[in-house]
Structure 1
Amino acid sequence: MSQAILPHAACARYGLLGLPLAFVAMPLYVVLPVHYGQTLGVPLGLLGAVLLGARLADALVDPLIGRWADRLLHQPRQAVLAMWMMAAVLSLGFAALFFPQIPQASGQGALLWWCAATMVLTFAAYSLGSVLYLAWGSRLGGNVAQRARLVAWREGFGLLGVVLANVLAVQAGLGWTALVLLLSLLIGVGSLVQGPRPASGVAARAPSVRVSLHELGLPWRAPAFRQLLSLFLLNGVASAIPATLVLFFIQDRLQAHTWTAAFLGAYFLMAAVSVPFWVRLITRLGPMRAWSLGMALSVLSFAGVLMLGAGDVPAYLLICVCSGWALGADLTAPGTLLTGVVQRAGHADQAEGMYAGWWQWATKLNLALAAGLALPALQWLGYAPGARDAQALLSLTLVYGALPCLFKLLSLAWCWRWRHLAA
């Protein structure tokens, strides 16, 4: 790719598909358990086993999808066709998952099988779209300014998708959610097709690494990728723990359940508003330094939750605003660094898909690690949902507030240790 920076209009055409891909994630990961457990009456134990199996399979397949994405991106027409197929399968799978066509007389067993089959289909389409989309953006390459601009448009539209999904799922219902998903996928893929495309053909140096491209472990042989992914995982756990526990904290510690939409809306909207600021900072200081500042701001703002109690709505709203602003750094800097790592490893225009596959694997692993750390810790410390005694609420506050800050501080130290990744 030329070093000339793509205009904002071209980056926006690429970034628009981020909206439906982020939009669909919220119902799949948040609404689905409640829908099958409460609305459809599936036993939580069996439902949990089905969800765990489907999500583990989903995470493990991402590197394989990444390998396939590299082959598709060498022939952009095939990549475009794969995106259209993804949109169709994801839309149909989503509708089938949330509106099961199973007679009531068939029993819960049939309903669980339907859930498992449609979930695997839907997750597979979602993973294909996410990995191929991320690899597409990485292959567009460019200097730090262009990479940051592409990531900013992608993540900015993604944040809007999250906000829209929360509003529709709660206010309009799953029928309208499915319809909006279909329309936004069609518009997003159409926009991607009209936007900048990766260069086709085989790079001149490809034969020297062609054998390695068939090995899923290729990205792991780049020390910079191992370092960046380790940092991404550590920082990701710090962000995923509050995401796992936020509803418990609002309901039990703050006792402000009616403010939930306002808290979450302020958080995500501030993140979206902050994206242009972080892009400018990345261009000026470099992605690693900008990311470090975002981590520091996150710790300074989020540590305030340790002093909150029942009814402290204004204070928590301010924390949501400040930590939402800091979130913009987490959304823009890592993706910018990832493309730079691919370029410096000599795998540009060759292996972006495999890097993207492992990156998506790490993203999903963050959520699993957060739940695996936070929920058992809360149970061991004596907290249960709905608790009001002082010791249980203190445990909730420490796990929700102190533990993420600890992980953020460790991430900040690693940023200093691996500051050379900013090159």
Structure 2
Amino acid sequence: MNTAPVRLLSLRYGLLGLPLAFAALPIYVHVPKLYADQAGLSLALVGTILLLTRVVDALSDPLIGWASDRILSRRRLIALALPLLAVGVGGLLAPPAGAGGVWLAGLLVVVTFGYSLATINHGAWGAELGEGSDMRTRLVAAREGFGLFGVLLAAALPGLLASNAEAGLARTGAVFVAVLALVALVSLPGMPAGQRPVARPESPWAALRGALSDKPFAALLGVFALNGIAAAVPASTVLFFVADVVRREDLSGLFLAIYFLAGAAGLPLWVSLARRVGKARAWLAGMGLAMAVFAWAALIGPGDTLAFGAICVLSGLALGADLALPPALLADQLARRRAGCAGACFGWWAFVTKANLALAAGLALPLLGGLGYAPGAREEGAMAALSAVYAVLPLVLKSMAAVALWRWRRIMEGETQ
């Protein structure tokens, strides 16, 4: 195989992951405070708007995936989604004077629809572009690697562009629009369009049920859900852990940067390991690394700064496996069994991804309160509760995910016999 065209294809395809990941972070991190401070909206109203739009967003993902299989090519659907993202993110991060709840809700709908349409079809497009198992892994790794750099860029820009938070976010929105336009010009023209849409008489519900009735796909989706919750629980509690267990809140940004950079650096390693031992075994190795790291984190105490930095490096490396290998396994499965249904399957995948974040927050934060922890608590019992939720709970969930992945391998072995 001539590797130069493959590398160029991976680069152009993966580059689109940067603005898509860039778009997600400000919406979840900065928008609530921006609209409470600048627009004067109550936290209750902002929270209600965000909750309702997230619920609608998650529930609509399978339907967007179903429709995407039947309307236009992946490339054209992505091209239609990007202007929605540009208008939505730019408008949300630079609200005009007098912007209120209607402005926030309307633009959130625009952003979430555009984001879902783009990400679902970007994932399905990668599955259709890959001509072999190794190439599909390369495409996914490129997408997730650029995505990590997009997250880092979105996190750093507001503070770098202005000392004032509102001005920094407005300028970040402008930079996002420019980056999105530039990436679109590089990633879309002249690229293969993906599989042609296929018109089918079945209803959306029948098609979506049909995707879930595929036993290997449903089992892989279950593994992905368990593993995703295991990863989202520490993500929801890490800032509390750094502040009250490690007691180095001033280094929170550095720890997060180390984590994401290690994840990006580890992607080529997981691609290479998957080539040698197979994707499922490589993912199991990544889960094993994560479980060892969680066990170590449970022993961390005040002042263990270097140890927690090492934990960030190792857990970041494990993150690379979670990012690159599950979608590559799905792409392989679609290439063998579900031609023409990639959008529906990636729609379910996107739904589970978003549900994981909600379930993790809904599980971890109330559990912390029930165990007696409150932000700022330094009592031994409160710290033990925080360590248990941050480290022990993900360790248990990762173990369950590893068992489920092993069983999924057995299902796939039975399918191939």
TM over 0.5: yes
Counterparts of 2:50 and 2:334, CA distance in 1:
33
The 3-state SS of whatever aligns with 1:154 is helix
Counterparts of 2:223 and 2:384, CA distance in 1:
29
Counterparts of 1:256 and 1:360, CA distance in 2:
34
Q: Does 1:112 align with 2:101?
A: yes
* Counterpart pick for 1:143 among 109, 127, 132: 132
Deviates more, 1:162-171 or 1:329-338: 162-171
Kept after mapping to 2: 8 A contact 1:139/1:198? no
Q: Does 1:17 align with 2:16?
A: yes
Deviations 1:218-276 (A, max 9, x none): 21121011000000000000000011111111112222111111101111001101111
Corresponding position of 1:181: 176
Corresponding position of 1:375: 365
Instruction: Provide TM-score, normalisation by structure 1.
Output: 0.90
Corresponding position of 1:365: 355
Letter in 1 for 2:319: L
Deviations 1:11-59 (A, max 9, x none): 1111100000011111111222222234444222222111110100010
Spell out the pairing of 1:184-203 with structure 2 (5 A cutoff): 184-194=179-189, 196-201=191-196
Kept after mapping to 2: 8 A contact 1:13/1:195? no
Kept after mapping to 2: 8 A contact 1:87/1:185? yes
Unaligned runs of 5+ in 2: 162-167
Unaligned runs of 5+ in 1: 104-109
Q: CA deviation at 1:405?
A: 0.8
Deviates more, 1:2-11 or 1:178-187: 2-11
Corresponding position of 1:304: 296
Kept after mapping to 1: 8 A contact 2:68/2:77? no
Kept after mapping to 2: 8 A contact 1:378/1:396? yes
- Quickly say closer, same or farther: Cα 1:219–1:195, change in 2 above 3 A: farther
* Counterpart pick for 1:169 among 158, 161, 164: 158
Deviates more, 1:232-241 or 1:299-308: 299-308
Counterparts of 2:216 and 2:109, CA distance in 1:
33
Counterparts of 1:49 and 1:225, CA distance in 2:
34
Spell out the pairing of 1:260-409 with structure 2 (5 A cutoff): 260-345=252-337, 347-348=338-339, 350-409=340-399
The 3-state SS of whatever aligns with 1:309 is coil
Task: Note the aligned Cα RMSD (angstroms).
Answer: 2.2
- Quickly say closer, same or farther: Cα 1:3–1:136, change in 2 above 3 A: farther
Deviations 1:372-399 (A, max 9, x none): 1101101111111122222112111110
Q: CA deviation at 1:157?
A: 0.4
Counterparts of 2:407 and 2:313, CA distance in 1:
29
Instruction: Provide TM-score, normalisation by structure 2.
Output: 0.92
Counterparts of 2:71 and 2:145, CA distance in 1:
26
Q: CA deviation at 1:191?
A: 2.4
Letter in 2 for 1:255: R
Letter in 1 for 2:178: L
Corresponding position of 1:107: none
Q: Does 1:94 align with 2:89?
A: yes
Letter in 1 for 2:153: L
* Counterpart pick for 2:207 among 215, 226, 237: 215
Corresponding position of 2:165: none
Q: CA deviation at 1:200?
A: 4.9
Counterparts of 1:49 and 1:201, CA distance in 2:
39
Corresponding position of 1:416: 406
- Tell me how many residue pairs correspond in the alignment: 406
Q: CA deviation at 1:82?
A: 3.3
Letter in 2 for 1:219: A
Spell out the pairing of 1:150-165 with structure 2 (5 A cutoff): 150-165=139-154
Deviations 1:294-353 (A, max 9, x none): 0000111222111112221111000000110111110111011111221232x22x1111
